[in-house]
Amino acid sequence: MFKRVVEALLRGEFICPTAYADEYGYLRNPEHFQKIADYLAPLDRALCTLDGGEAFYAGYAVIDETNRSQIREAFSEIRSQLRPVVEWMDLVMTALGSDRPVRARDEIRLHQMLRAIEPEPSLCEQMARLTQMPFFRTAKTNVAEQLLWVLQKLEQSGYLVKPNPQSSTYLVTGKMDYLHQVIAFLNDAEELELDQADEDSGEQAELFE
């Protein structure tokens, strides 16, 4: 199990109850957690936990010239997925009448989503726009095919898992909660930049008074 956990973490996987149930249980043991953390430390990696403990992942403990490009590439990939995945979450909320975005352990049922989207022209249009975005782009025009394509893309990217290959039910993974944290971080950073800009504007205005 130690080897499986380390290899998954170094691949950039998020160890959570839905995607890696056994590995997640292993890391919930404090002794195992410390053992993995100690192994990652010489590699300049830290064993991190999402808020709420829904997932474990390996973050970079040190940023230098040896890993700067890898970090930039990983963050660039996440940023490129932000808008499409947020748009998808908005579609799910509207279609299912939910008041919160999807999070780890939530269930996404293909047929339930399809029954909600197909009769609603506005949701069909939203699905069409979604499948024009680079992350979800497809030439498919049928709503059922578009929805299946989007869910498969989310599964391939680690946001969803399909526990039973014969079922049309997907489970949301801890990577989705990580995306929520990235969004919160970017929002906070944006606010700080705006606050700083306001302060700078104020200081500049004073110079001209």
* 31 shares its domain with 83: no
pLDDT at 75: 75
Beta-bridge mates of residue 49 = 56
* 32 shares its domain with 88: no
Distance of CA 122 to the CA centre of its chain: 26
Total structural domains in the chain?
Answer: 2
d(CA 56, CA 190): 26
Residue 198 belongs to a domain: no
Beta carbons within 10 angstroms of residue 131's beta carbon: 22
Contacts of 53 (CB under 8 A, 6+ apart): none
Residue 135 belongs to a domain: yes
* 105 shares its domain with 34: no
Q: Residue 135's closest CA among 179, 169, 190, 189?
A: 179
In terms of pTM, does the model score above 0.75? yes
Q: 45: number of CA atoms within 13 Å, CB side?
A: 22
* Predicted confidence (pLDDT) per residue in 118-165, tens digit: 999 999 999 999 999 999 999 999 999 999 999 999 999 999 999 998
* 74 shares its domain with 7: no
Q: Residue 194: which pLDDT band, with cuts at 50, 70 and 90?
A: very low
Rg (CA), the chain: 20
Mean pLDDT of 112-117: 97
- Which residues constitute the domain of residue 11? 2-60
* 142 shares its domain with 91: yes
- In percent, how much of the chain has pLDDT > 90? 69
Beta-bridge mates of residue 48 = 57
* 97 shares its domain with 130: yes
* Predicted confidence (pLDDT) per residue in 46-89, tens digit: 999 987 778 999 998 877 777 777 777 877 888 889 999 999 99
* 37 shares its domain with 87: no
* 74 shares its domain with 167: yes
